[in-house]
A and B are shown apart, each in its own frame.
Chain A
Amino acid sequence: MSETHRPEARGEPIDSTITPAGESTKKVEEASLLADAWRSLRKNPWFIISAVLLVLFLGMAIFPQLFTNTDPRECLLGRSRQSPSAEHWFGTDVQGCDYYSRVIHGARNSIAVGFIVAIGTFIIAVVLGLVAGYFGSWVDAVISRITDMVFAVPYILGALVFLNVLESRGVREVAFVLIIFMWPTMTRLMRGSVISVVNSEFVLAARALGAGPITIMRRHILPNSLGPVIGYATVFTGIIIGAEATLTFLGVGLQLPAISWGLQLSDAQPFLQTVPHLLLFPVIFVGLTVFAFMTMGDAIRDALDPKSKK
């Protein structure tokens, strides 16, 4: 360049505006996935609402005794189907058990299914999506076609068929069947997310450097493609809690004597007109939990989206 420039162009490159190290007012902001997300989440009122609700429901699931001292299995037929009162806040069910206590204890199984399925599908989706998106060609073709095939079976249908065969159905069985039929959506999402990153120049630069596929996937592709998937996984947890309730209501989910919101809904169905509160309370709890997860998922997805960054 040297000869073509008149001297004044040299000394002061217009772009060096970096302030020296002494700068104190603005602290160095991290751009890691989580730090990024946290910064924008803190300011999002929807995140705060959903976080409070989730803490509440998770508390219920893990430490139900914090919310009630009544044993949910202490049932006296003599007080069957009572209306809500000071003694029994949510009234009592057909068997005469305290309904408030049962609803609180129901959180554990419902949320457990939600978490197990969400984590299971997340792992499958991340691994398959990453491999399919990164390697492309026939690897992608095989994985994508399998995904499409599973995707074509409605999860309700698949779960009905499989769960009907099982003799005893607990949280594990229900979660397993749901994982089998619900991983494709998230896998597709992950694959798309990986493909959008895999052709970027920083990945090319790493490949040109001689970095192997594992290094590139771990260091560059994963952190840049997880955002939308994490967001979706949170929404997905809500969907699963709803799905568990649906399956249990249809009679193929959890079985008595387990306590879950789906079972309560199922049991309350015949008394819809006479004692509607038996239906009302579990519906409110399922609804709020699903709402909390979905709102949280949306907030997280927005926070992790690099495009929303200023």
Chain B
Amino acid sequence: MREPVLSYKDIRVSFATEFGDVDAVKGVSFDVMPGEVVAVVGESGSGKSVTSSTAMGLLPENATVHGEVLLEGRSVLNMSTAERRRLRGADISMVFQEPMTALNPVLRVSDQLIEALQVHDVAFGAEALERSIELLERVGIPDARTRIRQYPHQFSGGQRQRIVIAMAIACGPKVIIADEPTTALDVTVQAEILDLLRELKEELNTGILLITHNMGVVADMADRVVVMLNGEVVETGPVTKILSHPEHPYTRRLLAAMPLLRAAGDPSLEPERVSVTERADASADGLAPNGTTNGFSGDGAAGAASVAPPALQAKDVALEYKFRRRATRVVHDLNFTVQPGEIMGLVGESGSGKSTVAKAVLGLLDVAEGELRVRGMNMPALPSKERKTLKREIGVVFQDPAASLDPRFPIGDIITEPMVVHKEGDKNSRMARARELLDAVRLPSSVLNRYPHELSGGQRQRISIARALTLNPTLLIADEPTSALDVSVQAAVLDLFSELQQHYGFACLFVSHDLAVVDALAHKVMVMQNGRTVEQGTTDQVLRHAKESYTQQLLAAAPVPDPEVQARRRTERQRLLAALA
């Protein structure tokens, strides 16, 4: 029987706050064997990060820890501060979520790596530099010898995370604690980082404690899984068992909530999804918008009787950001059409320009070139008064529900704000509308007098959606509306979203990096890369019969929560990448 390299025994953590003690972790025990990946899974507030930090001794001062953490049989909690400091980095090291903040921006990468080696007496001077270069080569930084002299901001997000990993393995640790190591990264980069961690683990026989909320990552990496809920372990076991035959209802619920990309021939697929207004755009790829000549009727309501203009149409749009009078063009030659009642998913990785497009449609960014028509009217060219009227037709839901609601407004005022801005209705009719909308997003009307900070993330996002719908918009812009939410909350919000869309029949531009979410909602999909359209068409065409290699890469990189399927997808992806190279 092997000895566990790291073991947690009945860990209890409580935080002293001004409202009394809060128990964050209530008796958690599990082991990590050498060369094993143990995934700790749970939603926010489950105590997964707090539990693992006890091994590093990095908890804030108001925390009290009970129980025992053993690192190769030595109790970490009984060590002196100095002993524990020697332990960090040498025997246990950490990989954080956000690689930019985990590296010091004013120090060269070489200095930071050499420091890690010197602090633990591994190597000094020129030898340390040589070792650092080897480490960078090991984690796959090309041209390591010259690039080691650069600063963190000169590397891409994925490369930065590789550097953080290089620092973590610098002293040959027995355990690496990886706290959401890929959450801040794009899906293709995530797949690469996971590949790297897997290789390193096999090579160095290090135990990895992987903290994540993504079941796909779990399926890809983990040997064993610990599922946590409210500071307690609800289920633990080998990854195949937990993901294929979960016993605890919470685990089942988590898995069920995870949106899935459906493969071609999935029985749940409808033959052909049709947009709500039954006016499925005949030209399926949307590149050739039909009948745009009647676009400038100037009167949307009267024109609606015959052929309604598209809810949103972009013609050769180019967008740029200006900084000190120098314009940087970030979106080029954009063409798309969203018909009334249709959801178009806009997919891409960070830097693809997808959020910029959303901003431009909202009128928050000037259009540099081309036409952006909302209900047939070219919005950027309208005089400001008409533009304001047209903005009534557009609702918006942002990514972060905590930031998108004014903390000083009660919920009722937040929801009715669009009516106040557009001087519509009186106090009573506004409140009636707010109640109606709260009902539509399934929140009790008692929240009218509450403030955003009293609600949970999912509830706040429902409020955002309610506010977006206040004026009955014909077009809704949703910019990553669920990516800040836990999966189970995300599932509920997406369900609600599609229900509301059926009911109110608005058209929607749904910006997301998550292909599975888009697959679940959208009628049409457009894939963007570096400010250009890569591929567009119906959801089925793009996500199941992708023509472009970039789309195929994106699809292949998204992990699925089934270890066997994921292993198969991994080899497929590697084959695809090899074929491209």
Cα A309 to Cα B128 in complex, Å, equals: 46
Given A20-B444, A28-B450, A15-B406 contact (CB < 8 Å): no
Q: Does B453 contact A (CB under 8 A)?
A: yes
Give the total of A residues in contact with B, Cβ under 8 Å.
Answer: 44
Contact of A31 among B269, B270, B410, B477 (CB under 8 A): B410
Residues of B414-434 whose CB lies within 8 A of A: 417-418, 421-422
Give the residue name and chain of the B residue nearest to A215 (CB). Answer: B421
Residues of B within 8 A of A29 (CB): 451, 454
Contact among B388, B408, B491, B520 with A33 in the assembled complex (CB-CB below 8 Å)? B408
Q: CA separation between A215 and B423, bound complex, in Å?
A: 12
Question: Which of A62-70, A146-154, A198-206, A253-261 forms part of the interface with chain B?
Answer: A198-206
- Interface code B237-257, partner A: CB below 8 Å = 1, 0 otherwise? 000000000000100110011
Listed by A's residue number, 18 A-B pairs whose Cβ atoms lie within 8 Å are: A3-B262, A3-B268, A5-B256, A12-B253, A13-B458, A14-B43, A16-B442, A18-B446, A23-B446, A29-B454, A201-B399, A202-B405, A204-B396, A205-B464, A208-B391, A208-B477, A210-B422, A223-B408
Contact B421–A206 (Cβ < 8 Å): yes
Report the minimum CB–CB distance from A29 to chain B (whole Å).
7
Contact of B489 with A15 in the complex, beta carbons under 8 Å: yes
Q: Say whether, besides A3-B520, A9-B491, A224-B408, A206 and B498 are in contact (CB < 8 Å).
A: no
> Does A145 sit within 8 A of B, measured CB to CB?
no
Q: Chain A's interface: helix, strand, loop or mixed, by majority?
A: loop
Nearest CB of B to A140, in Å: 13
Contact bitstring B446-481, A, C-beta under 8 A = 1, else 0: 110111111111110000100100000000010000
Chain B residues closer than 8 Å to A21, beta-carbon distance: 444-446
In the complex, whether B574 has a CB less than 8 A from a CB of chain A is no
Inter-chain contacts of A31 with B (CB < 8 A): 407-408, 410, 451-453
Besides A9-B492, A31-B407, A201-B403, 12 more A-B contacts (Cβ < 8 Å) are A5-B257, A10-B495, A15-B458, A15-B486, A16-B442, A23-B446, A31-B452, A202-B403, A202-B406, A209-B422, A210-B387, A210-B391
Would you call B308 an interface residue if the criterion is a C-beta within 8 Å of the partner chain's C-beta atoms? no
Q: Contacts A13-B488, A202-B404, A208-B362; is A18 near B421 (CB within 8 Å)?
A: no
The total of Cβ contacts below 8 Å across the A-B interface reads 156
B410 surroundings in chain A (CB, below 8 A) = 30-31
A window 1-58: CB within 8 A of B: 1-6, 8-10, 12-18, 20-21, 23, 28-33
- For residue A17, give the distance in angstroms from its CB to the closest CB of chain B: 7
Q: Which of B445, B446, B520 is A1 in contact with, Cβ under 8 Å? A: B520
Residue pair B388, A210 in contact (C-beta under 8 Å): yes
The reply to whether the CB of B18 lies closer than 8 angstroms to some CB of chain A is yes
Task: Assess whether A220 is in contact with B406, with CB atoms less than 8 Å apart.
Answer: yes
With A and B bound together, what is the CA distance between A39 and B519 in angstroms?
Answer: 47
Say whether A161 faces chain B, with CB atoms less than 8 Å apart.
no
Tell me which residues across on chain B come within 8 A of A309, comparing CB atoms.
Answer: 453
Do A208 and B253 touch (CB < 8 A)?
no
Answer whether residue B259 sits at the interface, using C-beta atoms and an 8 A cutoff. yes
Question: How far, in whole Å, are A29 and B18 apart by their CA atoms in the complex?
Answer: 17
Complex CA gap A15/B408 in Å reads 23
- Does the CB pair A1–B406 fall under 8 Å? no
Produce 1/0 per residue, B262-287, CB < 8 A to A: 10000011100000000000000000
Task: Tell me, yes or no, whether B398 is within 8 Å of chain A by CB.
Answer: yes
| B364 interfacial contact with A, CB 8 Å | yes
Chain B residue nearest to A21 (CB atoms) is B446
Is B124 positioned at the interface, with any CB of A under 8 Å from its CB?
no
Which residues of chain A from 190 to 219 have any CB-CB distance to chain B below 8 Å in the complex? Answer: 200-202, 204-211, 215, 219
Distance between A298 CB and nearest chain B CB, rounded to angstroms:
18
**A residues engaging B (CB < 8 A)?**
1-6, 8-10, 12-18, 20-21, 23, 28-33, 200-202, 204-211, 215, 219-220, 223-224, 306, 309-310
Given known A4-B268, A30-B451, A224-B407, contact A211–B421 (CB-CB < 8 A): yes
- List of B residues within 8 angstroms of A202 by Cβ: 403-406
> By the criterion CB–CB under 8 Å, are B451 and A9 in contact?
no
Q: With a CB–CB cut-off of 8 A, which chain B residues contact A1? A: 259, 491, 494-495, 497-498, 520-521
Q: Chain B residues near A310 (CB, 8 Å)?
A: 17-19
Q: When each residue 492-533 of chain B gets 1 if its CB lies under 8 Å from chain A and 0 otherwise, what string results?
A: 101101100000000000000000100111000000000000
The yes or no answer to B319 lying at the interface (CB within 8 A) is: no
Decide: A205 and B443 in contact? CB cutoff 8 A.
Answer: no
In the complex, residue of chain B having the shortest beta-carbon distance to the beta carbon of A7: B256
How far, in whole Å, are A274 and B567 apart by their CA atoms in the complex? 94
Leading 8 A-B pairs by shortest Cβ distance: A13-B492, A15-B458, A210-B391, A21-B446, A31-B451, A201-B404, A9-B256, A1-B494
Query: Which residue of chain B has its CB nearest to the CB of A36?
Result: B408
Determine whether the beta carbon of B257 is less than 8 Å from that of A9. yes
By a CB distance below 8 angstroms, the chain A residues around B486 are 14-15
Query: Cβ of B362: which chain A residues have Cβ within 8 Å of it?
Result: 204, 207-208
Tell me, yes or no, whether B392 is within 8 Å of chain A by CB: yes
Q: How far is the CA of A13 from the CA of B499 in the complex (A)?
A: 15
Distance between Cα atoms of A219 and B406 in the complex (Å): 9
Residues of B within 8 A of A6 (CB): 256
Residue contact A18 to B253, C-beta cutoff 8 Å:
no
CB-CB under 8 A from B446, the residues of chain A are 18, 20-21, 23
Task: List the A side residues contacting B489 at CB < 8 Å.
Answer: 13-15
Are A17 and B388 in contact, CB atoms less than 8 angstroms apart? no
On whether the beta carbons of A18 and B459 are closer than 8 Å, the reply is yes
Task: Let me know if B111 is at the binding interface, CB within 8 A.
Answer: no
CA distance A223 to B413 in the complex (A): 14
Is B300 in the interface zone, CB < 8 Å from A? no
- In the complex, whether B400 has a CB less than 8 A from a CB of chain A is yes
Q: Are B449 and A209 touching (Cβ within 8 A)?
A: no
Tell me if B370 counts as interface (CB < 8 A to partner A): no
Known A-B contacts A202-B406, A210-B387; the reply to A14 vs B260 at CB < 8 A is: no
